[in-house]
Structure 1
Amino acid sequence: MVATGPSPDRPHGADSEVGTLRTVMLHRPGPELKRLTPRNNDKLLFDGIPWVSRAQEEHDAFAQALRDRDVEVLYLTELLTETLALEEARERAIEGVTNTLHLGDTLADYLRTALHDHSPAELALFLTAGVRNDEVRGGFGLVTSLMASDDFLIDPLPNLLFTRDSSVWIRDRVAVTSLAMPARRRETQLTELIYTLHPRFAGTGTIHGWQHEYVEGGDVLLMSPGVVAVGVGERTTPAGVERFARHLFADGLAHTVLAVPITQERATMHLDTVCTMVDVDKIVMYPNVADSLQAYAVTAGEGFHAPRGNGDGDERGDRAPGELLVAGAEPFLVAAAKAMEIDTLHQIDTGLDPVTAEREQWDDGNNTLALAPRVAVAYERNDETNDRLEAAGIEVVRIAGSELGSGRGGPRCMSCPISRAPLPLGG
């Protein structure tokens, strides 16, 4: 049954990383992971070939751990299938996946017709698991002749597992993000379809958009109501943060954006791979970067002009000089505490042993999902990090992740909070 809107006790939106989690969107690992091979896993951004059935078992246990805490779990594929029952959604999805230069006219025309002939569930499968050259029954021509039989005409999307990256809820709006890596760019097109056409999200305001400068959800941390930190590194660009900040200020969603440069490498691809909030004034952080992490506080200047439009079109308009004020770099913990108007943002690190810290950071020890203040989900294998969290008064809900982690992501990466309880005034 298709839900037609949020329930009164679970309104859509979030103003922090730690407010009690009410509703979350996950993606259960599916056939798209079975498309990974040693030949394509690097291109598709996986460090290994996961054991799919075990990954599904681990993910099911993760989802159940959330339900056990009264969290409503929505699945991206189910929402997508329900959305594709609408003709407008089908047209947009098929055009998006066939309007590409590598297919050629003959094959693209065939695929457009063939995809229209399938049910919403079958279309959702093709859009997420992809289509190989040897799986089509027409459109034969030069393109199909020169491609290997097992080459993909439509690439699979194994990174759908990480629903945090393609959208971020900030108060009552959802930011549809723009993903930097070619293997992931179609993910946000599908997410946008869900938020704009599924009855559950009717009337939801959207900002940013997949066609704009790169901003990925794993780089966005809601530090406190009105304060948003955004990592700038391998996936999110300075230009992306600039436009994102304009959207937030124009819609009254934030008063301060902290731009946080991070090392541009695989181990620290997103800000949430080095730090995540676990309480209103506590953050778990990779100690090897704690002393060097800086932040630039961005605020709206007196001459700030709101962007034109709603994020879907040309928003350049007329710009007043100094519309964004950028403060000088400060240590991240200092800049964040100032913006959050608290005395200290307490750091929980992953231990003094640099080797252990590096191992557990690589295994997503810092990538926790807060279920409420002082309650967080974490991978069970990161013993040192979990022990230190518990010593700091954080309840740790441990889950298995040996196979889920092969795509470089932890509990936070695998979850998009759609509804969190607002924090009480004063934190």
Structure 2
Amino acid sequence: MLPVNNDFKLDVTSEIGNLKALLVHSPDSGLGKVVPSKAQDWLFEDIVHLETMRRKEYDYYIKLLMYFLDPDKIKGKLSEIDSAASDRAFFKPDNAGFHNSDKVIEIQTLLSDILQQVDIRKKLVASVCAIENCTYRLQLQLIDTDPVELAKIFISGSLNDDTMIFAPIPNLIFTRDIGIAINNFMLLNKPAKKARSRETLLVRYIFFNHPLFAAYRDNILEIPDTVQHFLRPGEEQEQKTTLEGGDVMMVSPQHLLIGCSERTSISGANEAIKLLFANNVVNKVTVVKIPHKRDYMHIDTVFTQVKRNTWVMLKSLSITEPAQSEHEPINWFADKKDKDKPEIVQFENGQKPHTFDTLEELLIDISKNDLGCAGDVKFIYSGNNEFPFDAREQWTDSCNLLALKDGVVLGYDRNNKTVEAFKKNGFKVLNVKSVLQKLENDELDPTTMKDTLILMPSAELSRARGGFHCMSMPLTREAI
């Protein structure tokens, strides 16, 4: 079980305050069973090699998080952890060597905890079996399954990692999408794709039933469908009420961004705004409508915040005209200019909506007026704004960075041109392997690090089309 943490607070007021607690999900066996013909049905771009993803990529992520958030669990033990057998893996709750941190919180642990309660176990088994069309006998079998094993089955879809009884939910590694902490409230998602319905159900049960969140149950917001939605014809995205966490950013204590994208609809944004204003969660919401393309998916694949006065972003979506390579012929009749230009509308409680012409204009306004930056606001562009590297590196999450603190961020090692752009903007660039060793040897201090991009291995993780911003749900950040 997760250790009792009496100091836990649900409190996120920015994208860049010192990260103190977050929710993650380490790659489970279900990811290793995605087949090519079903990959896109399950929202993956490709199949992955599970052990490489786990041992040579995600493992570094967890270790780095532990040095910053829960150092007592790892400091002085790195050599022992690195030499441990696979059944003692540090990152996975099935294993004997699991860290079980109450700051780097594994969603599978929370699920195991609530399944210890017989009434919760019966209800959740019935709910999962209903949406997965299981037999009644299987339902009875699952009710009698050990809670720790049952949590694993619900996530991986497999009995004993062998017999599959329902589809995996590989997107659960992207914990950002299942909800978003806004001040001391939690906004739960409404996914756009059926492939994510089971993970949404599991997360709903966790937040409403786990003791960790007991003090915040009245602060959990669920987005309803619009009235009589079931009578509306058609299945178009614009008509459905959908919202995913990758389209929601808490940029300052009273200001939230919501993206309308391939995965979040206008209806979803509208319902979220109503809930947030009615509950006095924030007083300002900006809606950023981006093209409904797989290239972009969520707004956090297009831009994320690096520090108070610095953002990383895809330049071609930030300007009013499309990028034009000197090697690319001009098409005077192309309609890309209007089609790909984001539409940005800001709603402030009790005031008339306000529009912004470009993403840069919006982000400058946030840095200056919400966060009090006196100097210039900087932009680091995907691929160093060079065609075709801008689009290639955005595809492999050059804009999807997680800030551990103001100015210290994690990104993939494969985006070389974007790395060049960070260096040009005064950032140190360090490889995670060397960072871990220096943290272990007291050659680096997380509390004094600044203006640093930490590069993480990415051969398998990047196949899933999500970076470290996607793979994190911050629960607590210090105020900035």
Q: TM-score, normalised by structure 2?
A: 0.74
Distance 2:123 2:393 in 1: 42
Distance 1:210 1:85 in 2: 28
Residue identity opposite 1:201 in structure 2: F
The answer to whether residue 127 in structure 2 is matched with residue 96 in structure 1 is: yes
Question: 1:207/1:246 Cα in 2 relative to 1: closer, same or farther (>3 Å)?
Answer: farther
Q: 1:294 aligns with which of 315, 325, 343?
A: 343
- The residue aligned with 1:179 is 191
The answer to whether residue 18 in structure 2 is matched with residue 20 in structure 1 is: yes
Residue identity opposite 2:346 in structure 1: A
The answer to whether residue 130 in structure 2 is matched with residue 118 in structure 1 is: no
Q: 2:385 aligns with which of 352, 355, 370?
A: 352
- The residue aligned with 2:400 is 367
Q: 2:49 aligns with which of 51, 54, 57?
A: 51
* CA-CA distance at 1:225 after TM superposition: 1.9
Distance 2:477 2:471 in 1: 16
Distance 1:203 1:382 in 2: 42
Q: Secondary structure at the match of 1:44?
A: coil
Question: 1:235/1:190 Cα in 2 relative to 1: closer, same or farther (>3 Å)?
Answer: same
Residue identity opposite 1:75 in structure 2: E
Residue identity opposite 1:359 in structure 2: R
Question: 1:99/1:211 Cα in 2 relative to 1: closer, same or farther (>3 Å)?
Answer: farther
Q: 2:136 aligns with which of 109, 125, 130?
A: 109
Residue identity opposite 1:370 in structure 2: A
The answer to whether residue 427 in structure 2 is matched with residue 389 in structure 1 is: no
- The residue aligned with 1:208 is 221
Question: 1:208/1:239 Cα in 2 relative to 1: closer, same or farther (>3 Å)?
Answer: farther
* CA-CA distance at 1:237 after TM superposition: 0.6
Distance 1:282 1:56 in 2: 31
Q: Over residues 205-260 of structure 1, what are the superposed CA-to-partner deviations in whole Å (9 max), with x where a residue is unaligned?
A: 44432654311000111222211111101000111111111222223222211110
Distance 2:398 2:247 in 1: 16
The answer to whether residue 348 in structure 2 is matched with residue 334 in structure 1 is: no
Distance 1:353 1:185 in 2: 39
The answer to whether residue 300 in structure 2 is matched with residue 272 in structure 1 is: yes
Name the count of aligned residue pairs.
378
Distance 1:381 1:50 in 2: 16
Distance 2:478 2:45 in 1: 36
Distance 2:377 2:345 in 1: 16
Q: 1:224 aligns with which of 252, 259, 276?
A: 252
Contact 2:47–2:463 (Cα < 8 Å) also in 1: yes
Distance 2:265 2:353 in 1: 16
Q: TM-score, normalised by structure 1?
A: 0.83
Contact 2:60–2:456 (Cα < 8 Å) also in 1: yes
Q: 1:74 aligns with which of 85, 97, 105?
A: 105
**Superposition pairs for residues 127-166 of structure 1, below 5 Å?**
127-131=154-158, 153-166=165-178
Contact 2:223–2:272 (Cα < 8 Å) also in 1: no
What is the aligned-residue identity percentage? 28
Q: Secondary structure at the match of 1:378?
A: strand
Question: 1:232/1:19 Cα in 2 relative to 1: closer, same or farther (>3 Å)?
Answer: same
Distance 1:97 1:23 in 2: 28
RMSD of aligned C-alpha atoms? Answer: 2.1
* CA-CA distance at 1:401 after TM superposition: 1.5
Distance 2:474 2:118 in 1: 28
Q: 1:11 aligns with which of 9, 12, 17?
A: 9
Q: Secondary structure at the match of 2:385?
A: coil
The answer to whether residue 418 in structure 2 is matched with residue 419 in structure 1 is: no
Question: 1:339/1:17 Cα in 2 relative to 1: closer, same or farther (>3 Å)?
Answer: closer
* CA-CA distance at 1:376 after TM superposition: 0.5
Q: Could you list the runs of 5+ residues in structure 1 that have no partner in the other structure?
A: 137-151, 303-324
Q: Could you list the runs of 5+ residues in structure 2 that have no partner in the other structure?
A: 71-102, 226-240, 320-340, 427-450
Residue identity opposite 2:471 in structure 1: M
The answer to whether residue 44 in structure 2 is matched with residue 42 in structure 1 is: no
Contact 1:99–1:108 (Cα < 8 Å) also in 2: no
Question: 1:337/1:253 Cα in 2 relative to 1: closer, same or farther (>3 Å)?
Answer: farther
The answer to whether residue 386 in structure 2 is matched with residue 377 in structure 1 is: no
Residue identity opposite 2:42 in structure 1: L
Q: Over residues 251-299 of structure 1, what are the superposed CA-to-partner deviations in whole Å (9 max), with x where a residue is unaligned?
A: 3222211110111111100000010011122210011211133310012
Residue identity opposite 1:362 in structure 2: W
Q: Secondary structure at the match of 1:160?
A: helix
